[in-house]
Amino acid sequence: MSQVTLNINGQTHTVDVPSDMPLLWALRDTLNLTGTKYSCGTGVCGTCTVLINGTPMRSCVMPAISMAGAEITTIEGLDPSGNHPVQRAWNDEDVPQCGYCQGGQILTASALLKQNPNPSDQDIDAAMAGVLCRCGTYSRIRKAIKRAAENAAREGGTS
Amino acid sequence: MKISENQKSMNRRSFLKVSILASGALVIGIGCERPSSASTMEQRTWKPNLYVRINTDGTVTIVSKNPEAGQGVKTAFPMVVAECLNVDWKNVSVEQAPLDDRYGRQAIGGSRGTPDGWDDLRIAGTGARYLLTAAAASEWGVPVADCMAEKGAVIHKASGRSRRYESLLEIAATLPVPDVADLKLKSRPEEFELLGTFVPGVDNPKIITGQALFGCDIRLEGMLYAIYEKCPTYAGKVRKANVDQVRKLPGVTHAFVVDGGSDLRGLLPGVAVVAKTWWEAQSARKKLRVEWDTTHSDSTADYDRQAEVLRKEAGETLRTDGDVQRALDSASNVVEASYYYPFVSHANMEPQNCTAVYRESGRMELWAPSQNPKAGRQLISATMDIPEDRIHVNLARIGGGFGRRLRNDFMVEAAWIARETRQPVQLQWSREDDMRHDFYRPAAWHHFTAGVDKNGKMSAFDHHFVTFSKNGETVSGAGLSPDHYPAGLVPNFRLRQSLIETNVPTGPWRSPGHSAYCWAYQSFFDEVALAAERDQLEFRLDLLSRSYGKPPLDLERTSGTLKLAAEKAGWGRRALAANRGMGMAFHFDHGGFVSHVAEVVADGSRITVEKVYSAADVGPIINVSGARHQVEGAVTDALSTAQLEITFANGAATQSNFSDYSLLRINQAPEIECHFIQSDNSPTGLGEPPFAAATPAITNAIFAATGTRIRELPFSRSGVSAAPR
């Protein structure tokens, strides 16, 4: 077991975890932050995506102890009131079906728009290709990202 | 069945019951009379299956009885109540019901939610509205007919007086409950204000902020986490397991063998490892060594060998109309082709899981993402000898159903582990467990021979269907009805069936049967039309223009969807570049009529599915967003699944994770344009119907673009791959 202090959604948590425990399970089982989901455990599906210093990464393959000092954002922390332009667009376009992959989708989309406020179709496909949706909400994801980009531009950018 | 006929012929007697709570809220339940030999009022059993709670603050709480798996009922059903109650949707909140016998059927599947719920939901909303209107009228001393209800208030038309529902609750509770037969239920799209609009899902606020909703998100005080290791070749028993060693590993609290039974749908033999975190349980599993007594060694290679032998046999004749052989002998043209598709997995994004706690009192409580929680409760009761009324099931939101969660193996496993350990425990299957212990959609072979007469009409259709069985009975998902088209659409028809025994678990997979064999039929129709030198649309509409004996499906509604999809796609009106192609298919299943026209672009053998035009007829649409979701989702699912397969070797599934079962990604997903024919019929569901015709529409388009006829799935077997857009 190793101790590590994690900075999650602006709060610090000091936890004792097995040294090989991925961040995903430290979040879900040690800290009861269940917004980040498990689906493949091998970094292939993107469901477990969190932002590490603003970059989307797969929490299921990153040891928790290697995340000390990083700024970790989970879906719970993007905007708890649900007012981030991506979250609002996600609701306005009614993107989710079962909803299980959507945390990973939303975080990835928010990172895309921060880095590229006016993405083309190809930009969207390239950025979002890492997060699977078995229910098939892809066409809505594209629409919602475009809508979020428009709204954000009107309101002065995404934070 | 037309709407007015349906209301008259409701063969259950539904009635309302009203009561007032201590808080002042008015509760409306809808009951239905169970048939019984005694028909006096005193002996009718009231079993309410819906609750509407009108609160003193003007908000309305509607209880959603069915599990939500992304098919949208948690939003759509309350919308129907709100529509008939005439309240503002923004004042509605929705609660998920637990498993409770008072609600009647709480299973999801078969696209039955909408058709089964349509009457009762409207009755609950309308009855409450009538009652509240009568309450206001009695307060004002005016005839009820002079009042109307809108946006949560009753208005006296002549004087303009109005009273909000929440001010009428106590009076309403004292009035006689309206007779269901007297209620005029809204049924036509023209009457709807809320229904037919685009309404975002009621759980969206929680989903977008990561709040706990799914079975795996439940956290209980002192909860442990478990894995359950089973025999990879299904139902093998544990001969030996090093549980003593595993028990000593970091974080592990329990490790034990479970004897289980041999029913693939029940508690199978295995080893449970329980730990303080799931990671520690899963890590301990890597050191687990189990010797299994295996029972079979089924393999795809062996199935293929058997299929090849059976192909040459006659098979069992299931149906024969006219004289197929004579019609083939005298045909102008005979078309022969064989089709094959593999086993596929459900691949729910949320792997199977269940949380259970067994209390000292003998009460078992579970949080289950199940599509049929009542069957799960029965399974636990029968397996563990616990009375059903000591088992309480909370219904978690489900991360994808598609038929997998109609099997409750994960429920009985969690319950068993909870009782063994006497701790709250969350059983979480790994992705590998999920993919290897699925109830797969079975593979099949179709050998078609069709005769085309001198007028270009399909005069004969012979079909040898090779499918899977257990002890001589087709397994779940492997059957084919002898009444399926083109039986009834051609004068000479024969269906023959051969069986291959299988030991692997199979089960319902989104539109069981249909989602697989529609591809074979509609691809072969394409070949016949081509041989007859007829346009694909014209050939199909002609096929649907007459029946021989009882029509196998409603010809007019089916043709209606095909014509609309073709019109929206510009079939026959657009000149396409040489590497572009369009293809079409129609189908009917689970109450819904859906046709698709797909448009693809080819770059050698790399295909991009650019767009699919879809037309569906399921009667009135409740939630336009939800309806489109099902069409969009099914088309995407079809393209995804057409590129996937599960194979077996030495009795076990070969694939285990998304790296060898690669679901479609966003960059391959087509645009989908949905159109709905809101015909004058009672509404039916959309969870399944849009799937079946999507695969053949796409592969027919691929043929049009490339000249390559795909006769084997997945695509890779036919040398084709789907490229990003």
pLDDT in tens, B63-109: 999 999 999 999 999 999 999 999 999 999 999 999 998 888 899 99
Enter the tokens of residue B623: 């939630």
Distance from CA of B34 to the nearest CA of A (A): 34
Going by the DSSP 8-state scheme, the letter that residue B390 receives in this structure is G
Single pTM value for the model: 0.95
Torsion, Cα of B615, B619, B622, B624 (10° steps): 10
* Alpha helices, H only, B422-569: 431-436, 514-531, 536-543, 555-569
Residue A141 touches partner B, C-beta closer than 8 Å: yes
- The answer for residues whose C-beta is within 8 angstroms of residue B655's C-beta and 6 or more apart is B345, B435, B436, B645, B646, B647, B661
Give the closest residue to A52 by CA, choosing from A76, A72, A66, A75.
A72
Going by the DSSP 8-state scheme, the letter that residue A30 receives in this structure is I
Distance from CA of B636 to the nearest CA of A (A): 5
pLDDT in tens, B408-465: 999 999 999 999 999 999 999 999 999 999 999 999 999 999 999 999 999 999 999 9
Residue A42 touches partner B, C-beta closer than 8 Å: yes
Distance from CA of B587 to the nearest CA of A (A): 21
ipTM: 0.98
Residue B303 and residue B444: Cα distance in Å, rounded?
10
The number of helix segments (H) and strand segments (E) in chain A equals: 6, 5
Interface with chain A: mutation pick from B277, B349, B657, highest number of A CBs within 10 Å: B349
Distance in Å from the first CA to the final CA of chain A = 36
pLDDT at B45: 38
pLDDT at B44: 38
| A15, A46, A52, A105 from A57: Cα distances, Å | 21, 8, 7, 12
Residue B363 and residue B424: Cα distance in Å, rounded?
12
- The answer for residues whose C-beta is within 8 angstroms of residue B64's C-beta and 6 or more apart is B73, B74, B77, B78, B94, B95, B96, B97
Helix A85-92 to helix A102-115 angle, to the nearest 10 degrees? 130
- Letter for the amino acid at B472? G
pLDDT at B32: 57
A39 vs B204, B349, B724: nearest CB: B349
**B122 touches B186 (CB < 8 A):** yes
Distance from CA of B462 to the nearest CA of A (A): 36
- The answer for residues whose C-beta is within 8 angstroms of residue A154's C-beta and 6 or more apart is none
**B613 touches B537 (CB < 8 A):** no
The per-residue pLDDT of chain A, averaged, comes to: 96
Give the closest residue to A42 by CA, choosing from A56, A58, A28, A57.
A58
**B352 touches B433 (CB < 8 A):** yes
Residue B109 and residue B504: Cα distance in Å, rounded?
22
The per-residue pLDDT of chain B, averaged, comes to: 93
Enter the tokens of residue B668: 């391959």
Give the closest residue to B154 by CA, choosing from B170, B127, B135.
B135
pLDDT at B43 over 60: no
pLDDT in tens, B196-209: 999 999 999 999 99
B211 interaction partners in chain A (CB closer than 8 Å): 35, 76
pLDDT in tens, B614-667: 999 999 999 999 999 999 999 999 999 999 999 999 999 999 999 999 999 999
Residue of A nearest to B276 (CA): A29
A129 interaction partners in chain B (CB closer than 8 Å): 665-667, 724
Give the closest residue to A132 by CA, choosing from A37, A32, A8, A23.
A37
**A29 to B225: CB separation less than 8 angstroms, yes or no:** yes
**B658 to A44: CB separation less than 8 angstroms, yes or no:** yes
**A136 to B632: CB separation less than 8 angstroms, yes or no:** yes
